[in-house]
Amino acid sequence: EAGVAQSPRYKIIEKRQSVAFWCNPISGHATLYWYQQILGQGPKLLIQFQNNGVVDDSQLPKDRFSAERLKGVDSTLKIQPAKLEDSAVYLCASSLAPGTNSPLHFGNGTRLTVT
């Protein structure tokens, strides 16, 4: 099966600019996640979708971050305006179901550098 697709792979922007990341999950996977991984740390959940509804966005900085999942498939994550501390790898993951026994399948991530 095709894996989770993410683009772009790398992005360099200046602070206060905007940026968008795209994710296409594994076909049939109802649950989609966006994680932020700062260098040397574990992934931190930003938002979790179940189909096209938001399940958890408690750690999403909503003043600058937004995410949507149209038609329950592809998803985009946007940052506007970016800050220096947003430099990180943004990982998209999907799982077949939200159940406790369903592992996450990750994309290769987008490495964002804010200068």
Partner 1 sequence: AQKITQTQPGMFVQEKEAVTLDCTYDTSDPSYGLFWYKQPSSGEMIFLIYQGSYDQQNATEGRYSLNFQKARKSANLVISASQLGDSAMYFCAMREGNTNAGKSTFGDGTTLTVKP
Residues that bind partner 1 (CB under 8 A): 31, 33, 35, 40-45, 48, 50, 55-56, 89, 91, 93, 95, 97-106, 108-109, 111
Residue 82 C-beta: closest distance to partner 1, Å: 21
Strand partners, 45: 35
Least Å distance, CB 88 to partner 1, is: 12
CA 18 to centroid of chain Cα atoms: 15
Q: Which is nearer to partner 1, 16 or 44 (CB)?
A: 44
φ/ψ region of 66 (left if φ > 0, alpha if ψ in -120 to 50, else beta) reads beta
- Rg of the chain taking only CA atoms, in angstroms: 13
